[in-house]
Chains A and B, each alone.
Chain A
Amino acid sequence: MAAPTMESTGSSTTSTQTVTIAKGLNMALRNAMERDPKVLVMGEDVGKLGGVFRITDGLQKDFGEHRVLDTPLAESGIIGTAIGLAMRGFRPVCEIQFDGFIFPGFDQIVSQLSKMHYRSQGKVKVPVVIRVPFGGGIGAVEHHSESPESLFAHVAGLKVVSCSNPVDAYWMLQQAIDCDDPVLFFEPKRRYWEKGRLDPEAEHLPMVSSAVLRTGTDVTVATYGPMVKTCMDAATAAEEDGNDIEVIDLRSLSPLDLGPVAESVRRTGRLVVVSESPSESSVTSEVATRVQQECFYSLEAPVLRVNGFDTPYPPSKLEEGYLPDLDRVLDAVDRSLAY
């Protein structure tokens, strides 16, 4: 296995630069568009404005209105026309403005995008990427803080990934665009401005792979997206209590790469799975189920989960309580160790 991304950023070369996740995504889009004239960016306000989070900033100016499309406000239209464009040989990268706005496009994603390759037995490929800023913690109104990734991980025919740092943002988005399968690309919106060291010439992981970000011996914590930072912080804090936590960034949610998780759990005997989304029938359920199947005799404690609650996303004055934080992660770690 290649070196984990976060650790590899230590090897500084002349090409290394400090970038935010937002910048990493922007650079990835620019690279992909320069490499392949069939790559299109489309979505609401992605052109002149550069997107409400400025991820597509400057692209329309440099690539033109036919490659960076300010679309009508219709998500089914965005996904549906992207499918038609993909059938024509384009590689559209759609931006859904906020997680909670993807549902008008849900029908096209589930009924057409995910099934076209299977229906045609490979005669039609639909290499569409759907970028979704997701998750809470930004003090927003309803529909702007959701974590719907499990809904898509449940749909056969889709790949679902999430980046947690600028290096993955840069590489995984380009890998998603190169992928011949449709990819739901979940971006941790509250971490858009987190910085990291990016070396565009360094080794990098394949898109469908999980990464051990921090090795440890006592408890394994598996997570993804915006919760990676929370869990890394928790691991640092746990050191004070003498607990050595291994943190794994799942990165790909469908398919899951559980090899490194299972390998870790066989050493630690304990697993805590963390995400912001509601817990029922979620990515964390899938991880828990499969790890207990694969590591049954290694487990010293039941697999525990730390999630958002199984309620609609609360008003923002309550979101601090809803979102897993350092203390809730550490509480689960303690409970696991107490078994």
Chain B
Amino acid sequence: MSPEHWTRPSRPDERDRIADTAVPAATSATPTREQVIAGLRATSEGGADLVQLLTPEGQRVSHPDFDIDITDEQLRGMYRDMVLVRRADREGNALQRQGQLGIWVPLLGQEAAQIGAGRALRPQDMAFPSYREHGVAWCRGIDPTELLGIFRGTDHGSWDPNETGMGLYTIVIGNQCVNATGYAMGQKFEGKVGNSGDDAAANEATMVFFGDGATSQGDVHEGMVWASVYDAPVVFFCQNNQWAISEPTERQSRVPLYERAKGYGFPGIRVDGNDVLASLAVSRWAMNEARQGNGPLLIEAFTYRMDAHTTSDDATRYRMGDELEAWKLKDPIERLRVHLLREGIADQDFLDGVETEADELAARFRQFCVDMPDPPPERIFSAAYAEESPVVAAQREDYLDYLSGFADSGHDTEGSVR
């Protein structure tokens, strides 16, 4: 297991080999010291080039290429971001379990990757998400309640991509990579890239989010080809969370994913995706490069999906609990909490305040969810076309007529609370 070929922590079928290297197999929920070390190696051996600025123990370390200027207030802000986003995420899971949502897509464990990337975006930049980007949405000013409609089944995405600078969630894996590249080409065609002097602050770039599984899709390849031949100002931000539902990353690739950039002729960086400082530093650098006209770039955020793929998935069928336990020791929030306290950047009062705020967010999130009305039936037909289709208009009229025939028999055609 050379560092170059290390892509993820150990799996059951590797247990014997790991045992050979003197790391005992998992026997309980509490990891052994050896497992802790093996777990740490999982991140630090994510490749010799892994960028890390905050160790899992909360130690600030330097990196020759990617250091970062950051104020204490910004550090506290990112802690707050991660805690609040995780809290909304956990509430989403709970709401699904209680029947209030059809499904929830957990982001647990990927907070640092997403908050670091999201906080590197400027208002004029554009983000193209997949469907797990609750942390990025948070950074774009999209309230977590705006995500609920997708998972409750009342809409396909409620926010305005033009106002928020974030596209709607994209569920077909990898599709957004070509859309983002096209958008970035447009930024370039409009002269919003590579300006200097007074215009430099208005330079724009695009960041597109996808996972390790998506890297096998043709659209990711085509997006990278197009971005490279048009020098598009796009940053490909791949969250390698080790699992594409049940398939490990090595089912997608022979090489570490960041190395694929080489084949397209642009830089690829692997960053510790559980280290919010590193994610921010690398994302800032990459977005600046793209805004200056040096795009595209690829970032592989090496992280871990600590929950199942979705609430419909059962991760215990394909991975062992000790893997999760090992990654818990590299929790993105915990390492920043330790760092803030140790360095005196935040005190217990601050942490308690964030917890209180998280409680309030969770309560508001929950209440918003249970209060959401079902959309009225005419919503089926709304905005299928920009110019109304006579076919759709006729179908709407027929269907509403049909429904009105039930009015006397107690069928309610208006929106009703579930």
Contact = CB atoms under 8 A, between A and B. Distances in A.
A255 B391 contact: yes
B332 interface: no
B385 A84 contact: no
A124 interface: yes
A80 interface: yes
Interface in A70-89: 71-72, 74, 76-77, 79-89
B182 A82 contact: yes
A74 B226 contact: yes
A180 B162 contact: no
A81 B182 contact: yes
Given A111-B175, A120-B161, A88 B386 contact: no
Interface string A7-51: 000000000000000000000000000000000000000000000
Interface stretch (B3-11, B70-78, B216-224, B408-416): B216-224
Contact of B172 (A90, A111, A121): A111
A80 B178 CA distance: 5
B223 A77 contact: yes
Contacts of A157: 384-385
B179 A83 contact: yes
A196 to B, nearest CB: 28
Contact of B186 (A80, A89, A117, A122): A89
Contacts of B225: 72, 74, 77
A256 B182 contact: no
A84 B172 contact: no
Contacts of B229: 72
B382 interface: yes
B178 A118 contact: no
A89 B223 CA distance: 19
A76 B178 contact: yes
B101 to A, nearest CB: 19
Given A76-B219, A156-B384, A255-B391, A84 B162 contact: no
Contacts of A77: 178, 181, 219, 222-223, 225-226
Interface in A85-139: 85-90, 104, 107-108, 111-112, 115, 117-125, 127
Nearest to B232: A81
A317 interface: no
A117 B383 contact: yes
Interface stretch (B28-36, B152-160, B278-286, B355-363): B152-160
Given A77-B225, A107-B172, A111-B175, A119 B186 contact: no
B389 to A, nearest CB: 5
A88 B180 CA distance: 10
A interface residue count range (under 10 / 10 to 19 / 20 to 34 / 35 or more): 35 or more
Given A108-B175, A119-B156, A76 B222 contact: yes
B20 interface: no
Among B155, B168, B175, B222, the one with the most A-chain Cβ atoms within 10 Å of its Cβ is B222
A129 B6 CA distance: 45
B386 A84 contact: no
B186 A85 contact: yes
B189 A117 contact: no
B187 interface: yes
Contacts of B178: 76-77, 79-81, 83-84, 108
A122 B383 contact: yes
B150 to A, nearest CB: 10
B120 interface: no
B168 A179 contact: no
Contact of A76 (B155, B218, B391): B218
Interface in B201-251: 218-219, 222-223, 225-226, 229
A125 B160 CA distance: 12
A93 B212 CA distance: 33
Contacts of A83: 178-179, 182
A88 B181 CA distance: 11
A249 interface: no
Given A76-B218, A120-B157, A85 B185 contact: yes
A79 B180 CA distance: 12
B167 interface: yes
B175 A80 contact: yes
A287 B230 CA distance: 44
A119 B184 contact: no
B190 interface: yes
A122 B187 CA distance: 22
Interface string A168-183: 0000000000011100
A156 B381 CA distance: 11
Contacts of A104: 218
Interface string B244-281: 00000000000000000000000000000000000000
Contacts of B175: 80, 107-108, 111-112
Contacts of A66: 189
A85 B179 CA distance: 8
A181 B383 CA distance: 11
A179 B387 CA distance: 8
B64 interface: no
B161 A84 contact: no
Contacts of A127: 386
Interface in B103-148: 128
A255 B226 contact: no
Contacts of B223: 77, 80
A159 B390 CA distance: 12
Interface string A233-266: 0000000000000000000001111000000000
A84 B183 contact: yes
Contact of B189 (A90, A156, A181): A90
Contacts of A112: 170, 172, 175, 179
Contacts of A74: 222, 225-226
Nearest to A75: B222
Contacts of B180: 84
A251 B205 CA distance: 41
Contact of B384 (A84, A117, A179): A117
Contacts of B384: 117-118, 156-157
Contacts of B190: 88
Among B161, B172, B179, the one with the most A-chain Cβ atoms within 10 Å of its Cβ is B179
Given A84-B178, A117-B383, 13 more contacts: A71-B226, A77-B223, A81-B178, A87-B183, A88-B186, A104-B218, A120-B156, A120-B157, A121-B155, A125-B386, A157-B385, A159-B385, A257-B390
The 4 closest A-B pairs by CB, nearest first: A84-B182, A80-B178, A81-B182, A88-B186
12 contacts: A74-B225, A76-B178, A77-B225, A77-B226, A80-B179, A84-B181, A87-B182, A87-B186, A121-B382, A124-B168, A159-B385, A180-B386
